[in-house]
Amino acid sequence: MMTHIMSLTPSRRRWLVVLCMILVPCVILNFASTPDVHEETLLQHSIAELQVKLEHLHSKYINSQEEIQLLTYQLVQLTEGAHLLPDVQVFINNSNYNVTNVKLPSVYNFLPHLLSDPNSLRPAFIHSKGRSGVSIVLGIPTVRREVQSYLMATLKNLLDRMSPQETADTLIVVFIAETDIEYVMYVAKQIEVHFPDEFESGVIEVISPHPSYYPDFAKLRDTLGDNHQRVVWRSKQNLDFAFLMSYAQIKGTFYVQLEDDILAKKNFITTMKSFALQKVSMKENWVVLDFCQLGFIGKLFKCVDLPWLVQFFLMFYNDKPVDWLLDHLISTKVCSLDMDNKRCKMAKAELWLHYKPSLFQHVGTHSSLKGKVQKLKDKQFGKITLYYGHQNPDAIVESQIKPYKQFTLNKAYKGDSFFWGLLPQPGDHLRFKFVHPIFIKRYLFRSGNAEHPSDKFYNTTVEVLPQSINSVDRNHNNVTEDGYIIVGKFDSLGIARGTVDKKLGKIAVLRLTVHSESDNWAILSEIHVEEDFNS
Cα separation of 328 and 289, whole Å? 16
DSSP string across 485-502: EEEEE--TTSEEEE---G
User: Is the same domain home to 340 and 433?
Assistant: no
Residue 303 lies in a domain: yes
**Residue pair 132/173 in contact by the 8 Å Cβ criterion:** no
Residue 243 lies in a domain: yes
> CB under 8 Å to 70, separation ≥6 — which residues?
none
Count Cα atoms within 13 angstroms, Cβ side, for 27.
19
Residue 491 lies in a domain: yes
- Tally: H helices and E strands in the chain: 15, 19
User: What are the angstrom distances between the C-alpha of 287 and each of 279, 298, 306, 519?
Assistant: 11, 14, 10, 44
Cα separation of 300 and 288, whole Å? 6
User: Is the same domain home to 113 and 149?
Assistant: yes
CATH code of residue 143: 3.90.550.10
User: Is the same domain home to 319 and 411?
Assistant: no
Query: 174 has which bridge partners?
Result: 140, 206
User: Is the same domain home to 342 and 443?
Assistant: no
pLDDT at residue 244, rounded to an integer = 98
**Residue pair 487/500 in contact by the 8 Å Cβ criterion:** yes
How many distinct structural domains can be found in the chain? Answer: 3
Residue 421 lies in a domain: yes
Cα separation of 533 and 510, whole Å? 17
Cα separation of 210 and 122, whole Å? 6
- Quote the DSSP letter at residue 373: B
User: Is the same domain home to 277 and 344?
Assistant: yes
Length of the chain: 535
Residue 32 lies in a domain: no
Cα separation of 517 and 520, whole Å? 9
What's the domain range around 121?
107-362
pLDDT at residue 36, rounded to an integer = 57
User: Is the same domain home to 434 and 514?
Assistant: yes
Cα separation of 352 and 334, whole Å? 11
pLDDT at residue 451, rounded to an integer = 81
User: Is the same domain home to 220 and 344?
Assistant: yes
In this structure, the strands spanning 252-257 and 134-142 are: parallel
User: Is the same domain home to 76 and 111?
Assistant: no
Residue 34 lies in a domain: no
User: Is the same domain home to 62 and 196?
Assistant: no
DSSP string across 11-52: HHHHHHHHHHHHHHHHHHHHHHT-TTS-HHHHHHHHHHHHHH
The per-residue pLDDT string of the chain (535 residues; one tens digit each, 9 = 90 and over) reads: 444 444 555 555 555 544 554 444 444 444 444 455 567 777 777 787 787 777 777 766 766 666 666 666 566 666 665 666 666 566 656 665 555 556 778 888 889 999 999 899 999 999 999 999 999 999 999 999 876 788 998 999 999 999 999 999 999 999 999 999 999 999 999 999 999 999 999 999 999 999 999 999 999 999 999 999 999 999 999 999 999 999 999 999 999 999 999 999 999 999 999 999 999 988 888 999 999 988 899 999 999 999 989 999 999 999 999 999 999 999 999 999 899 999 999 999 999 999 999 999 988 665 556 555 555 666 667 777 889 999 999 999 999 999 999 999 999 999 999 999 999 999 999 999 999 999 999 999 999 988 888 899 999 999 999 998 665 566 566 899 888 999 999 998 899 999 999 989 999 999 999 999 988 899 999 999 999 988 6
User: Is the same domain home to 425 and 329?
Assistant: no
Cα separation of 148 and 441, whole Å? 35
Degrees (nearest 5) of the Cα angle 303, 305, 308? 130
Residue type, 338: D
Residue 371 lies in a domain: no
CATH code of residue 422: 2.60.120.260
- Burial 455-491, CB ≥16 within 10 A → b, else e: bbbbebbbbbbbbeeeebeeeeeeeeeeebbebbbbe
User: Is the same domain home to 418 and 303?
Assistant: no
pLDDT at residue 102, rounded to an integer = 67
Q: Which of 310, 342, 362 is the last residue of a domain?
A: 362
Residue 508 lies in a domain: yes
DSSP string across 42-93: HHHHHHHHHHHHHHHHHHHHHHHHHHHHHHHHHHHHHHTTS---HHHHHHHH
Q: Give the global pTM.
A: 0.70
Residue type, 436: H
Q: Which of 60, 93, 126 is the last residue of a domain?
A: 93
Cα separation of 307 and 329, whole Å? 13
149, with CB counted inside 10 A (0-12, 13-18, 19+), is: buried
User: Is the same domain home to 201 and 139?
Assistant: yes
Tell me phi and psi for residue 121, to 5 degrees. -105, 15
